[in-house]
A = this chain, B = another copy of it.
């Protein structure tokens, strides 16, 4: 099923460290190849509403094997995937979700981060991705 628990925990620890460096309060979720939750962590005073968003970002990134923000570019009014967010029990289509690849480039899971601006969410998610090689 792709990503191991050790890899998922490494991604979360890297994302937590990046959050601390940037003084952010984040929710961080990792799903496996089957889009099932593998690991999760919420920092003190992180937004409660971001628990679900972090998990949905991770799922969305694995559901479509792309950064969540890329999906959002296509789901705007008039865009080809308008309102795709109502599928799959709710997708999140703004940045903060990224696929996780192994050293060979194979997608083995995904990470979702929520708790601050979408730019910061993306930056923290990227730190998690880079911890898995």
Contacts and interface: CB of A to CB of B under 8 A. Distances in A.
Interface of A: 1, 4-5, 8-9, 16, 32-45, 47-53, 56, 59-60, 62-65, 72, 75-78, 80-95, 117-118
A83 B37 CA distance: 22
Given A53-B87, A87-B52, A90-B87, A65 B78 contact: no
B49 A64 contact: yes
A80 B63 contact: no
Contact of A91 (B78, B86, B93): B86
Copies of this subunit = 4
Nearest to A121: B80
A36 B40 CA distance: 12
A79 B10 CA distance: 32
